[in-house]
Amino acid sequence: MGKKLLLEKDHVPGIRSYEVYRKEGGYASVEKAIKSMTPEAIVEEVKKSGLRGRGGAGFPTGMKWSFLAKPPGVARYLVCNADESEPGTFKDRYLMERIPHLLIEGMITSSFALGANTSYIYIRGEYFYVARILEQAIEEAYKNGWLGKNILGSGYDLDLYVHVGAGAYICGEETALLESLEGKRGNPRIKPPFPAVAGLYGCPTVVNNVETIAAVVPIVNQGGDAYAAIGIGKSTGTKLISASGHINKPGVYEIEMGITVEDFIYSEEYCGGMKGGRKLKAVVAGGSSVPILPADLILKTANGEPRLMSYESLADGGFASGTMLGSGGFIVMDDSTSIVKNLWNFTRFYHHESCGQCSPCREGTGWMEKILHKILDGHGSMKDIDLLWDIQSKIEGKTICPLGDAAAWPVASAIRHFRKDFEEYVQNPSSIKDVHHYYRLNDLTEA
């Protein structure tokens, strides 16, 4: 069994309640931080830990924290990103639902380190019932003196609130999230300025993912070096992986970074192998936005090395033969899967979720969806495949926020690795089996 830092206690009966969580050692990081550490010392431990943002981009958290501007007399904010909408990702929900106090504890310790006196957890609206669980935990934390005025007699004040969204993938992008938290449409902002300088209400702000904030708890408790000793290379610590698709045991797994992909898919400890013993066809390893890889390339790098579950190994080979760890949304597809139809599904998703500010993203996602629809309808031509390639290449890197890239990469990688599948549909439309075109375009705008 691998080492667990976040989900070690997730099966302790009653761990959702304050009493049990506290009895199991909860809130020790707040005590240690506030009583015996300076904010700067905490930032230093986080830097030492090598922790990288778990929201998808993998940016070093300690570095992000040290960028936070500190003009005197200006409020600073910590905002937790619990928008979790990247298809294939459900780890944050699991963590918040099972051990809500771990996130609350992480928020308090992190807010203290950043000098924030008001912090928010922005949670997607569909997770309303999870928001209630968090609010209950927050209430317990207030009652027991971990939140509010003069925490542990230190003179440090902190208020923590849950804020629900209302259904928009784009609000996971940090500047769209801040707009949404200000009561506006979720349109990403042009950067710079970055949130570290001008974020919520124009004040310096740090936005971090749920899992990132939770990881601060073991880092403060055990020290940054102990955290960095787990994992491999620059992928330190543990990572929550949301595993779904054609596997025997879908679910959330906390892994030590550096285990092999093969072990993750086939071992009993994790996914337990392919459902029905079928053959692995492809994997989307880090949420819908990252490049899809065929079985041979996800299990082994282009050099024939075993592929590992780490930022570096998954990215090995660049986009020619690699992918990204992303949010850890690990979607497994067996040999019955239509790659073309899955791509259409993703593309429809991005078209639906584009905020519409940039023409390459707004128009390009729509055109890619239409062309894929045409191919699936049996009316595609070889030129359409090239056109798809052309469109995605004109979105990537040319938009305000990375949603454009996120829409382009799945298309590029599917064509790169599965071009034969597209050609087969074009040349032999009768091969388009089990493709129901179920969602008509007007269903989408209507619904």
Partner 1 sequence: MSSDKEIKFPEETLELVRRMMKRYPEGKQKSALIPVLHLAQAEFDGWLSPQVMDYVASLLNIQSIEVYEVASFYSMFNLKPVGKCTIEVCRTSSCWLMGAEDVIRHIEKKLNIKTGQTTADGMFTLKGVECLGSCGTAPMLQVGAEYHENLTLEKVDSLLDNLRKEDKRKCYTDHFDPQSN
Ligand X SMILES: Cc1cc2nc3c(=O)[nH]c(=O)nc-3n(C[C@H](O)[C@H](O)[C@H](O)COP(=O)(O)O)c2cc1C
If one asks whether residue 401 binds ligand SF4 (CB under 6 A), the answer comes out as: yes
Q: Concatenate the DSSP letters of all residues of 169-184 into one string.
A: GGGGSHHHHHHHHTTS
Distance CA 175, CA 162 (A): 18
83 binds ligand X (CB under 6 A): yes
- For 115-248, list the strands marked E by DSSP: 118-123, 159-164, 205-209, 231-232, 235-236, 238-245
Binder of ligand X out of 50, 62, 87, 172 (CB under 6 A): 172
Q: At closest approach, how far in Å is the CB of 341 from ligand X?
A: 23
Q: Would you call the peptide bond into 402 cis, given omega within 30 degrees of 0 as the criterion?
A: no
Which position among 84, 179, 254, 396 is part of the footprint of ligand X (CB under 6 A)?
84
Q: Is 51 in the site for ligand SF4 (CB under 6 A)?
A: no
Q: 251 contacts which partner out of ligand SF4, partner 1, ligand X, none, CB within 5 to 8 A by kind? A: partner 1
Q: Which of 59, 161, 201, 439 binds ligand X (CB under 6 A)?
A: 59
Angle (CA) 129 134 135, round 5°: 95
Q: One-letter amino acid identity for 425?
A: Y
DSSP track, 326-343:
TT-EEEEEETT--HHHHH
Q: Which of helix, strand or coil describes residue 296?
A: helix
Q: Strand, helix or coil at 99?
A: coil
For ligand X, the closer of residues 188 and 380 by Cβ is 188
Does 243 contact partner 1 by CB under 8 A?
A: yes
Rounded CA separation 329/326 (Å)? 7
> Cα(346)–Cα(279) distance, rounded to whole angstroms?
22
Work out what residue 345 binds among partner 1, ligand X, ligand SF4, none; the CB cut-off runs from 5 to 8 Å by kind: partner 1
Cα–Cα distance, 89 to 164 (Å, whole number) = 18
- Interface with ligand X, residue 103, by CB under 6 A: no
Q: Could you say which of 174, 254, 256, 369 contacts ligand X (CB under 6 A)?
A: 174
For ligand X, the binding residues (CB under 6 A) are 53-57, 59, 61, 64, 81, 83-86, 170, 172-174, 207-209, 212, 401-403, 406
Residues binding ligand SF4 (CB under 6 A): 170, 188, 354-358, 361-362, 399-401, 403-404
Judged by the rule CB under 8 A, the positions of this chain that interact with partner 1 are 16, 75, 84-90, 92-93, 97, 118, 124-129, 132-133, 136, 159, 161, 163-169, 180-186, 201, 242-246, 250-252, 284, 288, 329, 331, 333, 337, 342, 345-346, 349, 352-353, 436, 438-439, 443-444, 446-447
